[in-house]
């Protein structure tokens, strides 16, 4: 079919297909109208090409351009910025095809296409995206090569082969530049919207919020432990601590009120530390996730981490790209004031008018437990016991909670997940006048058996409680573990909805599915570690391995320039070598001819060994010398032209050295 089309039609259809592919990849991030217009224009153009009709008049293009600009303004309220820019560039790429006359406009489409390719990376830098982009890149290059084959009707695969060959040869250049091109900070301020739409823990908690995260299979961070990893139950990664409750919503304590300033963290650690490396995905928050408890700041490049009073580690700037750091944590730790102090007052406050039944139950509980020196501990034990035996269940679909969330949890629904349980627990503790607060973060993780990395996902987001006990400080209490022992410390997690392939695979062979998943994640992790997370730090590590003592970015430039000089010198050397005769057989023959010339026998370039042999016999007569030269020449001839030859170049060189040359030319 394709072979029957005229060349221009075929070329245009091919370019349209490549553009279609580029736009198709972008569709999930485009407003509906952009996709519609782009598809419409491309199909229209294809139909015109197919029937070889003339292109529409310029009025159509102006009309469409006005429509696109108007719609972009209507959607984004601006023509600048990332999202509006992406919308515009995709629409313009499609529009440009309306004045595409195969070869001539290939360039404009080519360069516009490249910009569009780059915009894909705003949304995803996964392996699959990279594969899709590579296909599009090869498609564009193929179209361009094809445009520079003006004669006849060369098949497209020929252009594709040239393009593929160029890409293959260009790959080493890409690799060197990628490894050594100095990574620098953004040249100017980035638009605000650059980083929107990426999920993670938020700084506050409202019932129902962690639920959305619980279904989110995205990776929050990865960990590699030095040595044995701690047990799953001990993997509490601390995030924001929420202490301020307004009846609906938990927030972090507001610091501006000095009276409410809680006591300092006062962290004391003991026992052996756990050492590990975290690769944190960007989450647009200044939070570092480390195991409880980490006394020393994890070293970061270009940023400074500090610990809040709540034991949480934060950075100066939000984390906008994947970040890797090492940390040391002590599972044995104690923190918070040991004696009741004024700052603790903030942690027993409850908003009036909420959860009356819980408050009433607290009164009853207080009487049941009875006053005493370790009232807090006994109260916690009683409540945990109640949770364990009171028929409470763990569910990710507890339904919508109303105003009195704690009341509903304790008495009506008796079902919920970590945030309901932790929130209700802390409210009850505060009703008992025990200082308590909510800690959010991640708990657990999954070990990937392929590469030994622990993977912590968004669905591992967790909320637990901390209760202050006199003499012990803040003590972690995880009420969820009382309700659902499986929630903490188990590999069996609720899995996110699967796609058709993994679903089918799981039905067929569960272990294979798990293996496949592990493999895929290991590959992805390598991709993240080596491609996406290749920072200046890693570049400098590379230089260190190359022998630089204290590398800096100038050294990168030096190495790059050095490589460039070396490659140029190699190229020049190759040129020099190419200019000389480098067929060893011919070189050997020329060696002989030069020697003969010195003896007074001129031979021409085109003469084969046999002719030279005849000349030698004629010139020098039937002497030993001419016989040996003739014999050598015949062997040389056989080496190249006989079906089989006993000689090699080496033996011939040896034989050449054994020729006895006459001292001077015969008279």
Residues found near another protein in the complex (CB under 8 A): 107, 111, 114-115, 117-118, 121-122, 125, 129-130, 133, 137, 141, 144-145, 147-152, 154, 162-163, 166-167, 169-174, 177-178, 181, 184, 186-188, 190, 194, 320-321, 531-534, 575, 579
CB nearer to another protein: pick between 162 and 443: 162
* CB 556, min distance to another protein, A: 13
Tokens of 596: 């003969």
CB nearer to another protein: pick between 103 and 420: 103
| 3-state SS class at 69 | helix
From CA 83, how far away is CA 91, in angstroms rounded? 12
CB nearer to another protein: pick between 531 and 665: 531
Q: List alpha helices for 580-608, DSSP H.
A: 584-598
DSSP E strands in 159-310: the ranges are 205-206, 219-225, 236-242, 244-245, 249-251, 268-270, 274-280, 287-288, 305-307
Tokens of 618: 């004629």
Tokens of 636: 């040389």
Q: How far is CA 165 from the centre of its chain?
A: 26
* CB 120, min distance to another protein, A: 8
* CB 4, min distance to another protein, A: 22
* CB 134, min distance to another protein, A: 8
From CA 81, how far away is CA 91, in angstroms rounded? 15
CB nearer to another protein: pick between 214 and 532: 532
CB nearer to another protein: pick between 169 and 400: 169
Would residue 351 be called left, alpha or beta, if left means φ above 0 and alpha means ψ between -120 and 50 degrees? beta
* CB 162, min distance to another protein, A: 5
* CB 503, min distance to another protein, A: 29
* CB 25, min distance to another protein, A: 13
> Residues 317-345, buried b or exposed e (16+ Cβ, 10 A)?
eebeebbbbebbbbbebebbbbeeeebbe
First and final C-alpha spacing in the chain: 78
CB nearer to another protein: pick between 183 and 260: 183
* CB 141, min distance to another protein, A: 6
H or E element in which residue 467 lies: strand 461-469
- Asked if 283 and 198 count as a contact pair (C-beta separation under 8 A), the reply is yes
Taken as a whole, the chain contains a residue count of: 667
DSSP 191: P
CB nearer to another protein: pick between 60 and 115: 115
CB nearer to another protein: pick between 382 and 542: 542
Tokens of 396: 């990710």
């Amino acid at each position: 079919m394709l072979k029957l089309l005229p060349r221009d039609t075929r070329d245009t259809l091919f370019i349209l297909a490549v553009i279609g592919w580029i736009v198709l990849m972008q569709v999930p991030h485009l407003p509906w109208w952009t996709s519609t217009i782009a598809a419409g224009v491309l199909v229209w153009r294809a139909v015109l090409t197919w029937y070889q009709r003339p292109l529409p008049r310029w009025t159509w293009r102006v009309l469409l351009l006005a429509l696109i600009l108007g719609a972009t303004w209507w959607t984004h309220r601006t023509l600048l910025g990332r999202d509006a820019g992406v919308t515009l560039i995709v629409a313009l790429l499609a529009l440009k095809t309306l004045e595409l006359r195969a070869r001539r406009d290939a360039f404009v489409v080519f360069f516009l296409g490249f910009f569009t390719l780059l915009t894909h990376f705003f949304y995803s830098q996964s392996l699959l995206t990279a594969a899709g982009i590579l296909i599009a890149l090869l498609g564009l290059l193929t179209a361009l090569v094809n445009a520079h084959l003006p004669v006849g009707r060369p098949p497209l695969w020929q252009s594709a082969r040239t393009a593929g060959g160029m890409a293959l040869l260009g790959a080493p250049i890409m690799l060197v530049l990628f490894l050594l091109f100095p990574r620098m900070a953004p040249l100017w301020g980035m638009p605000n919207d650059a980083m929107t739409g990426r999920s993670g823990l938020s700084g506050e908690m409202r019932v129902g919020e962690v639920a959305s995260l619980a279904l989110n299979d995205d990776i929050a961070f990865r960990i590699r432990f030095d040595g044995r990893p701690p047990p799953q139950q001990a993997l509490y990664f601390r995030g924001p601590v929420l202490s301020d409750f307004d009846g609906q919503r938990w927030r972090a304590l507001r610091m501006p009120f000095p009276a409410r300033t809680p006591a300092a963290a006062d962290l004391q650690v003991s026992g052996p530390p756990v050492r590990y490396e975290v690769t944190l995905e960007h989450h647009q928050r200044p939070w570092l996730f480390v195991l409880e408890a980490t006394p020393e700041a994890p070293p970061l490049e270009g940023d400074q981490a500090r610990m809040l009073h709540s034991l949480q580690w934060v950075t100066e700037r939000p984390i906008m790209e994947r970040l890797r750091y090492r940390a040391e944590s002590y599972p044995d730790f104690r923190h918070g004031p040991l004696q009741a102090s004024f700052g603790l007052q903030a942690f027993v406050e409850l908003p009036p008018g909420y959860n009356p039944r819980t408050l009433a139950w607290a009164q009853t509980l207080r009487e049941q437990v009875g006053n005493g020196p370790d009232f807090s501990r006994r109260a916690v034990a009683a409540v945990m016991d109640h949770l364990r035996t009171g028929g409470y269940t763990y569910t990710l679909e507890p339904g919508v909670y109303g105003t009195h969330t704690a009341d509903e949890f304790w008495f009506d629904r008796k079902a919920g997940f970590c945030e309901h349980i932790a929130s209700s627990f802390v409210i009850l503790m505060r009703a008992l006048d025990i200082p308590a607060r909510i800690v959010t973060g991640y708990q657990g993780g999954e070990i990937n058996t392929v590469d030994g990395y622990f993977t912590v996902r968004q669905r591992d987001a967790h909320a637990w409680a901390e209760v202050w006990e006199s003499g012990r400080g803040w003590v972690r209490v995880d009420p969820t573990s009382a309700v659902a022992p499986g929630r903490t410390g188990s590999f069996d997690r609720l899995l996110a909805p699967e796609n058709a392939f993994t679903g089918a695979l799981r039905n067929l062979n569960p272990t294979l599915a798990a293996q496949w998943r592990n493999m895929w994640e290991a590959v992805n992790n390598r991709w993240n570690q080596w491609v996406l997370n290749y920072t200046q730090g890693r570049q400098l590590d590379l230089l260190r391995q190359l022998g630089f003592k204290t590398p800096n970015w100038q050294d990168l430039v030096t190495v790059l320039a050095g490589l460039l000089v070396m490659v140029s010198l190699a190229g020049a050397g190759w040129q020099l070598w190419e200019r000389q005769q480098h067929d060893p057989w011919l070189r050997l023959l020329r060696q002989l001819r030069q020697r003969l010339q010195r003896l007074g026998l001129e031979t021409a370039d085109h003469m084969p060994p046999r002719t030279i042999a005849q000349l030698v016999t004629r010139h020098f007569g039937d002497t030993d010398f001419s016989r040996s030269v003739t014999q050598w020449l015949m062997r040389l001839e056989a080496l190249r032209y006989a079906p089989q030859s006993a000689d090699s170049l080496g033996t011939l060189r040896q034989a050449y050295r054994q020729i006895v040359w006459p001292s001077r030319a015969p008279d």
